Amino acid sequence: MDLVKTKTFIGLILIFTLVSVSPILAEETIPDEETLLVEESPIDTETLLSYEDQHLNSDFLAEEETPAEETTLAEEIPLDEETPTEIVTLPIQEPQRSAESMAASLNVSADDFYDDDFDFDSLFYEADPIVKESDAFEGIRSFDDIFPFLSRSQRSRVNSELGLRYAFEKADTPTITPSSNSGIDLLSSVMAKKPSHIVEALVLVPYDKRELDMLDIYNALIMVSKIKDYTVPLSGRQVKIFVDTTRLESARNRVPISDPKPATFLPFEDQMHLRFTDAYYGDIFIRADVSMSNHGITYNMTNFRDVRYALVPIMRAERVSVIIYLEPVKEGVLIYSLSGFYLPGIIANSANLTPPINRRITVLQNWITDGLRRQDSVIN
What end-to-end distance do the CA atoms of the chain give, in Å? 80
Residue 46 CB burial class (10 angstroms; 0-12, 13-18, ≥19): exposed
Distance of alpha carbon 16 from alpha carbon 23, whole angstroms? 13
Residue 356 CB burial class (10 angstroms; 0-12, 13-18, ≥19): buried
Note whether residue 341 is domain-resident: yes
Question: What b-and-e string marks burial along 265-287, b requiring 16 or more CB atoms within 10 Å of the CB?
Answer: eeeeebebbbbbbbbbbbebbbb
120 and 106 Cβ atoms separated by less than 8 Å? no
> How many domains in the chain?
1
Distance of alpha carbon 155 from alpha carbon 121, whole angstroms? 59
Domain that holds residue 217: 61-81+141-376
Domain harbouring 330, CATH code: 3.30.530.20
Distance of alpha carbon 273 from alpha carbon 288, whole angstroms? 6
**pLDDT for res 269:** 94
Note whether residue 102 is domain-resident: no
Note whether residue 266 is domain-resident: yes
Q: Which residue has the higher pLDDT, 84 or 236?
A: 236
How would residue 350 be classed by pLDDT, with cut points 50, 70 and 90?
confident
| Average of per-residue pLDDT across 71-76 | 38
**pLDDT for res 10:** 61
Note whether residue 281 is domain-resident: yes
Note whether residue 36 is domain-resident: no
| Average of per-residue pLDDT across 140-150 | 95
Question: Strand, coil or helix: what is 162?
Answer: coil
How would residue 314 be classed by pLDDT, with cut points 50, 70 and 90?
confident
Note whether residue 260 is domain-resident: yes
Note whether residue 30 is domain-resident: no
169 and 313 Cβ atoms separated by less than 8 Å? no
205 and 332 Cβ atoms separated by less than 8 Å? yes
Q: Can you give the pTM of this predicted structure? A: 0.67
Q: How far is CA 81 from CA 209, 226, 230, 368, in A?
A: 17, 11, 9, 11
Note whether residue 18 is domain-resident: no
